[in-house]
Amino acid sequence: MIKASIVLALVGLGVLAASVSGTVAVPFYLPLSTLVLAGIMYIGRSIPKFLRIFLVMLSATHLVLVALILGSRVGLITGDYTGYVPPPSAALGATAFGALIFGLAFVPVVRTICRIADRYLESQADSVIRIPFIGLVRAREGTIGTWMIGILIAMNLAQVALAVRFNFYFRDLFNALENKDATAFWYQLFIIFAPLAAVHVVIALTEVLLQNVLLIRWRAYLNTYYVGEWLGNGAHYRMQLLGRGADNPDQRISEDLRKFVESTYSLSVGLMNQAATLVSFVAILWTISAGFTFPGTNVEVPGLLVWVCAGYAILGTWLTHLIGRPLIGLNFEQERVEANYRFSLARLREYTEQVALLSGEPAEREGLAHRFSQIVDNYMRIIIRLIKLNTFTLSYSQANVVVPYILTAPYYFIGKISLGQMQQVVGAFSRVESALTYFITIYTTLADYKAVLDRLTTFEGAIASAQRVGGESKLAITEAAGRELRLKNLDVRLPDGSALLHTDALTFRPGERTLMTGPSGSGKSTLFRAIAGIWPFGEGEVLVPEGQTMMLLPQRPYIPIGTLRDAVTYPGKAETYTDAQIAEALRAAKLPQIAERLDEERAWAQTLSLGEQQRLAVARALLAKPDWLFLDEATAALDEPTEAEIYRIIKEQLPQTTVVSIGHRSTLAAYHDRRIDMKKTESGLSTPVDLRQAVPAE
């Protein structure tokens, strides 16, 4: 950026010297604007990278314009460039854009956009990209993204330049027709138009390809980043514990990130494109309006066509807004009723068994029909409103075709402008009109975009506070020498800070099977969570034996979507075990009926009964062979003989594993050597009482 600003400043100084000395007849404001741009680039070197790309590309475009103008002045580029690259508007436009981009860096909402966008653009991750005709190129992902955005901006500006050139082509073509000059006509058609049209097609196609590659790479990077942050250090679990600010993380990661990337790109590059179009074509309208008088008077109005066009665009947009405004509310309502309907269907799918048992199908059908009728009703209102709106917009766009003729015909008939210039006005008028309309109507898109930004920001905030709670937790999990697991001065609290349980000291010895009992809600599961290191609320020390592995089986195990093999080996990799080992573990866990179906992919959590799911989790433990196995009512859904068999298998197949169980059944005591009872004091605080000996089975 510093180098680029120095180059720009040197060019500016050189052209200024040439202009002052009279070597080249260049108006002095052109090098002055180059110098101002160089200054903006220099002081803007610390603004977000996303904005810097626009600043650098703008300066590069400005240099191209300077080169074109200089070239035409020294006779390098020949041709009729009257009004083609109008120096005052190019200089003014570029400087104003530069200042605007710099100023945007201080607008809070733009800073938020840039902060999220820059995560990608500043990424240091090594990556590769396949470039046609060059092959695979290795670079940092951020560098790849930066170049892609830069090239896309250049392509957009090149499209604007081409549009301007086409506008002049139409002038020359129609002038040739007016003058019945066949040579000039064919020249314009084949020598000027054909190559330009080919360039236009190539740029447009490349742009589509590049834009889509950029958007998917950008989204992929942000997706990995946000998923990583969400899952990092158990933030996802703590966010749920804290329960604030981050509903539907799934929507934020899948929908909002996609919308963010698409809208950030289309709004920023689109705005730049439309602004460049506006400046370029306003200049054409302004130049052609020279000497135009207000109809019926002798009063000359500078840039008359520009003012008429602006007034026309504002009137059109205002009427569109008046007629179309109810659509905003109607579309919002449509999303709401669609979401309600989707939710009812998803809920029905979840509770299908319960509905079937209650024979609730007729009630469900009625409920669904009612919700769907809301969709239809609102949709009809949207259609009626759209018809009203389209009646206006279609008439307006038809009027667009004739208005420029009505405006210019009087001047043509009195010989003030040529037929070619009249054609030029027709083209420029529609460009200026649509650019102005774009600026005026963009606010509805912006409102949606702002909502996306807000959702991503609150999501980030919730992740950050979850990470903070984890980082600041006074509940320390420390690896210590020795083979015992010890709790020292442990206070476990609830998320709101109230005390749940306390123990001065509690030791779990290796090889000793412990059963933890106590009233429901006394904090047994929460103590397990604290030992597993996922519960951040509380103070004290949990000393876990160094280098030893732990596994905790909850009452309702998690079964991922995928094959049975993936479900059994979760969270490890399926390749770690042979099929024979996995099948053997399933058989040992009393699931012989599914041991041969390892490749089967289905929603296992919905297919297997709770008792079967618990046995699948035991199979997981048999494969993983942890040093410590915590069973939190992990066999509660089994019948007593099967539960006994499972405990026997665990003891037999995992002789090195220390088992600590939570359970309410008295029969469990038989499989344990020691019992700890969670007693609740009158103040509500629980404390584990060591009963040393397990209560013998009745």
Ligand X SMILES: Nc1ncnc2c1ncn2[C@@H]1O[C@H](COP(=O)(O)OP(=O)(O)OP(=O)(O)O)[C@@H](O)[C@H]1O
| Residue in 523, 536, 538, 663 binding ligand X, rule: CB under 6 A | 523
Cβ–Cβ under 8 Å, residues 517 and 664: yes
Q: Of 195, 521, 560, 684, which lies in the binding site for ligand X, with binding defined by CB under 6 A?
A: 521
Indicate the helix (H) or strand (E) that contains 517: strand 514-517
Only one of the segments 158-166, 249-257, 385-393, 513-521 lies at the binding site for ligand X (rule: CB under 6 A); that segment is 513-521
- CB of 355 or CB of 691, closer to ligand X: 691
Nearer to ligand X, 44 or 523 (CB): 523
Structure tokens at 204: 């447009």
Which range of residues in 303-311, 332-340, 467-475, 521-529 is near ligand X by CB under 6 A?
Answer: 521-529
Q: Of 178-186, 226-234, 524-532, 600-608, which part binds ligand X (CB under 6 A)?
A: 524-532
Which residues, other chains included, contact 673 with Cβ-Cβ below 8 Å and sequence gap of 6+?
512, 513, 514, 694
Task: Indicate the residue among 71 and 234 with the shorter CB distance to ligand X.
Answer: 234
CB 522, min distance to ligand X, A? 4
DSSP conformation letters of 49-100:
HHHHHHHHHHHHHHHHHHHHHHHHHTTSS-S--TTTS-HHHHHHHHHHHHHH
Single out the residue of 613, 630, 433, 416 nearest to residue 529, CA to CA. Answer: 630
| Contact with ligand X (CB under 6 A) among 520, 578, 656, 683 | 520
Nearer to ligand X, 58 or 500 (CB): 500
| Shorter beta-carbon distance to ligand X: residue 52 or 502 | 502
Select from 116-124, 434-442, 517-525, 567-575 the region that touches ligand X (CB under 6 A): 517-525
Comparison of 241 and 386: residue with beta carbon closer to ligand X: 241
What's phi and psi for 5, nearest 5 deg?
Answer: -70, -35
Burial class, 124, CB count within 10 angstroms (exposed 0-12 / middle 13-18 / buried 19+):
exposed
In this chain, which of 252, 455, 524, 565 binds ligand X, going by CB under 6 A? 524
Closest contact distance (angstroms) between CB of 507 and ligand X is: 20
CA 473 to chain CA mean position, Å = 31
**Nearer residue to ligand X within complex by CB, 243 or 311:** 243
DSSP 3-state assignment of 597? coil
N residues, the chain: 698
Residues 6+ apart with CB under 8 A from 618: 553, 589, 634, 635, 646, 649, 650
Residue from 100, 494, 685, 691 binding ligand X (CB under 6 A):
494
Q: Contact between 490 and ligand X (CB under 6 A)?
A: no
Residue 457 vs 555, nearer CB to ligand X:
555
User: Which residues is 659 bridged to in the sheet?
Assistant: 629
Nearest to 140 by CA among 122, 119, 126: 126
- Please select the residue that binds ligand X; options are 522, 569, 635, 658, rule is CB under 6 A: 522
Please report whether residue 613 would count as binding ligand X according to CB under 6 A.
no
C-alpha dihedral, 90 to 92 to 98 to 101, nearest 10° = -110
Q: Which of 61, 526, 614, 661 binds ligand X (CB under 6 A)?
A: 526
| Segment interacting with ligand X (CB under 6 A) among 21-29, 59-67, 105-113, 518-526 | 518-526
# of chain residues touching ligand X (CB under 6 A):
12
> What's the CA gap between 529 and 545, in Å, rounded?
17
| Distance of closest approach, residue 552 Cβ to ligand X, in angstroms | 13
For the residues of 111-166, what is the DSSP string, one character each?
A: HHHHHHHHHHHT---EEEEEETTTEEEEEEHHHHHHHHHHHHHHHHHHHHHHHHHH
Nearer to ligand X, 31 or 518 (CB): 518
Cβ 516 to ligand X shortest distance, Å: 9
- Taking CB under 6 A as the binding criterion, the range among 42-50, 254-262, 294-302, 523-531 that sits at the site for ligand X is 523-531
Q: For the window 437-476, what string marks contact with ligand X as x by the rule CB under 6 A? A: ----------------------------------------
Residue of the chain from 214, 261, 282, 500 that contacts ligand X (CB under 6 A)? 500
In the window 223-282, what residues touch ligand X (CB under 6 A)?
Answer: 241
Whether the CB-CB separation of 640 and 665 falls below 8 Å is answered with yes
Distance CA 544, CA 280 (A): 71
| Smaller CB separation from ligand X, 165 or 665 | 665
Pairing relationship of beta strands 628-632 and 658-662 according to DSSP bridges: parallel
Query: Mask of contacts with ligand X, 182-201, x by CB under 6 A?
Result: --------------------
Question: Residues 33, 123, 437, 525: which binds ligand X (CB under 6 A)?
Answer: 525
Q: Residue 209 has which token pair?
A: 């390809």
Q: How far apart are CA 512 and CA 657, in angstroms?
A: 9
Q: Output the DSSP codes for 176-193.
A: HHHTT-HHHHHIIIIIII
Among positions 371-430, residues that touch ligand X (CB under 6 A) are none
User: Which among 113, 63, 455, 64 has a CA at the least distance from the CA of 268?
Assistant: 113
Positions in the binding site for ligand X (CB under 6 A): 241, 494-495, 500, 518, 520-526
